[in-house]
Amino acid sequence: MSTETSAQRLAALVREGRRFWSTPEGQVLRQAERACLGPACERLFGAHSLELGYGGLLADMCPVRHSLAWAPTRELATDPSTLVCVPEALPLPDGCLNLVVVHHLLEVAPDPHHLLQEAARVTADTGKLILFGWMPFSAGGLARLSPARRRRLPWAGQWRSPRRLRDWLAFVDFEIERVDYCGFHLPGRPPGNALLETLGRRHNLALGDSYMIQACRRPQLAQRQGSRLRFAAPLGGPALGTTRLEPGRVARHEGSRAEKEARG
pLDDT per residue as tens digits for the range 219-258: 875 444 443 434 343 333 333 333 344 444 444 444 555 4
Q: What is the pTM of this model?
A: 0.79
Contact 133, 160 (CB under 8 A): yes
Say whether 140 sits in a helix, a strand or coil.
Answer: helix
The gap between the terminal CA atoms of the chain, to the nearest Å, is 99
> 67-103, pLDDT tens digit by residue?
899 999 999 998 888 999 999 999 999 999 999 999 9
Answer yes or no: are the C-beta atoms of 116 and 102 closer than 8 Å. Answer: yes
3-state secondary structure of 75: helix
Of 194, 187, 203, 91, the residue nearest 143 (C-alpha): 187
Structural domains present in the chain: 1-217 (3.40.50.150)
CA nearest to 33, candidates 158, 180, 154? 180
